[in-house]
């Protein structure tokens, strides 16, 4: 059974180990029972972000992706663990082009996550996200730092040139379903 307070305590305990694998195991246990998460946190009925915990060393969010929502390529500049508890999240990974004059990126693979799946993103990963379903998808995102205080980058959708992360530009590209962006 998912218990929010115990979940956060377990993640904070894993920080002492600084083990992303330990954090991924904690998230995997949680998303193995999606119904328990929905009972404790509520089933998402619109896109948005819910902050479960925020501190300088740990940020825990639930993200609800609108149907067909797409994000611009972006980085976090900290490690992340993502666990799906409803729907699907398709991640496209990008790599910086060596010796590019304008800090551009190119495709470098991807990973589709369905309900119950967990993945670890390294601190230097650049990715974009798609919810390919016609329903809301929901995930727990755990970051080993202050997600909201980090200086991050995003990449222009057309030119793939790096620019400072701008929450207003990100929110503009979201579907019109009451979505709130995570900055």
Contacts of 54 (CB under 8 A, 6+ apart): 60, 146, 147, 148
Cα separation, 183 vs 180, whole angstroms: 9
Burial of 163 (0-12, 13-18, 19+ CB in 10 A): middle
d(CA 121, CA 103): 21
Q: What's this model's pTM, rounded to 2 decimal places?
A: 0.88
Q: What is the pLDDT of residue 183?
A: 47
- pLDDT value at residue 167: 75
Per-residue pLDDT of the chain (183 residues), as tens digits, is 899 999 999 999 998 766 889 999 999 999 999 999 999 999 999 999 999 999 999 999 999 999 999 999 999 999 999 999 999 999 999 998 877 677 889 999 999 999 999 999 999 999 999 999 999 999 999 999 999 999 999 999 898 989 999 877 765 555 544 444 444
Backbone region of residue 109 per phi and psi (left: phi > 0; alpha: psi in -120 to 50; beta: other values)? left
Report which DSSP code applies to 165: -
CATH no. for 4-172: 2.60.120.10
Write out the two tokens for 30.
Answer: 């949680």
- In eight-state DSSP terms, residue 47 is S
Give the DSSP letter of residue 134: S
């Amino acid at each position: 059974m998912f218990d929010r307070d115990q979940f956060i305590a377990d993640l904070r305990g894993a920080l002492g180990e600084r083990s992303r694998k330990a954090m991924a195991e904690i998230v995997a246990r949680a998303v193995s029972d999606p119904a328990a998460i929905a009972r404790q946190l509520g089933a998402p009925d619109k896109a948005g972000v819910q902050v479960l915990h925020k501190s300088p060393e740990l940020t825990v969010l639930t993200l609800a992706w609108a149907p067909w929502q797409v994000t611009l390529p972006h980085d976090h500049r900290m490690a992340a663990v993502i666990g799906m508890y409803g729907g699907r999240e398709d991640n496209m990974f990008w790599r910086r082009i060596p010796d590019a004059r304008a800090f551009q990126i190119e495709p470098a693979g991807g990973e589709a996550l369905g309900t119950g799946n967990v993945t670890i993103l390294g601190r230097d990963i650049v990715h974009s996200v798609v919810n390919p379903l016609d329903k809301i998808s929901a995930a727990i995102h755990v970051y080993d730092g202050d997600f909201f205080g980090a200086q991050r980058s995003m990449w222009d959708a057309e030119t793939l040139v790096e620019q400072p992360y701008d929450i207003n530009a990100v929110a503009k590209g979201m579907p019109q379903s009451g979505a709130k962006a995570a900055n």
